[in-house]
Amino acid sequence: MILIKSRDIFQNNDKKLYQIMSNLFIIAAPSGCGKTTLVDALLNNSEHLYLSVTHTTRKPRVGEVDGVNYHFISKTDFKKMILNTEFVEHAEVFGNLYGSSREKIQENLNKNIDVILEIDWQGARQVKANMPNAISIFILPPSKKSLLERLKGRGQDDDETIKNRMSDAENQMKHYDEFDYLVINDIFEDALSNLKTIIHNNENFNKSEFKLEKQVLRHKYLLKELI
């Protein structure tokens, strides 16, 4: 048996046996649902989790720091990175380009550190296609009304942007059933605790109360309201 420290995410067609020691987690949600706030809390004091910093052509918001919140780059540079196959996934979201660069992801997986990608459903689909063992989690708001209140309450987007994000939310949420787990971000502390359970016990997937099929039954009325 060949033992490697982590799976090589782009050579996983190799038929040799290998032992997987680190995980790639995908977290997606409609804009404003709270995924960044949840992931920040998740990363707090956790040395064994690395959040991949997205490259984007979006302009920075007030308070956002280049290299910390995002790598803010030009469209030309983004397109060069696509041509050089530097992204594990990329997508256009709200008229801007967003992509996850392969280098740091692979570096951390190789160091046996679990990696989190905070991306949209299009990116999630690409990652799952290349790496079916990636663990995907979709986060839903408790209602459309709370989603709107959160987008407004964040105080960082103008009315037009908020309108666009609300009208896209349904399109994003339609893809919840492509994910392994579903979490409802109603009470923040509960959602955080659910995420921690998923991340720390993902080997118990079949028994998890947060796996998609169980959550779909539990939250069927919410799903009807949202989608």
Ligand X SMILES: Nc1ncnc2c1ncn2[C@@H]1O[C@H](COP(=O)(O)OP(=O)(O)OP(=O)(O)O)[C@@H](O)[C@H]1O
Summarize as ranges the residues that interact with ligand X (CB under 6 A). Answer: 29, 31-37, 150, 153-154, 185, 188, 191
Inter-residue long-range contacts of 150-158, CB under 8 Å, 24+ positions, other chains counted: 150/32, 150/33, 150/34, 151/31, 151/32, 154/32, 156/61, 156/62
- d(CA 119, CA 15) in angstroms, rounded, equals 29
In the block, which residue shows the tokens 């397109």?
A: 79
- Residues 73-112: x where in contact with ligand LQESDW3C by CB under 6 A, - otherwise, as a string: ----------------x-x-x----xxx------------
67 in a known ligand binding site: no
CA angle 82, 68, 6 (to 5 degrees): 65
Minimum distance between the CB of residue 30 and ligand LQESDW3C, rounded to whole angstroms?
7
Quick check: 162 and 152 in contact, CB under 8 A? yes
Query: Quick one: which of 100, 94, 91, 36 has its CA closest to 69?
Result: 36
Interaction of residue 114 with ligand LQESDW3C, rule CB under 6 A: no
Decide which of ligand LQESDW3C, ligand X, none touches 100; Cβ closer than 5 to 8 Å per partner kind.
ligand LQESDW3C
Nearer to ligand LQESDW3C, 208 or 226 (CB): 226
From 58, 71, 144, 154, residue interacting with ligand LQESDW3C (rule: CB under 6 A): 58
152 in a known ligand binding site: no
191 in a known ligand binding site: no
Contacts of 214 (CB under 8 A, 6+ apart): 208
CA 96 from centre of chain: 17
Decide which of ligand LQESDW3C, ligand X, none touches 37; Cβ closer than 5 to 8 Å per partner kind.
ligand X
Minimum distance between the CB of residue 44 and ligand LQESDW3C, rounded to whole angstroms?
20
Binding residues for ATP: 29-36
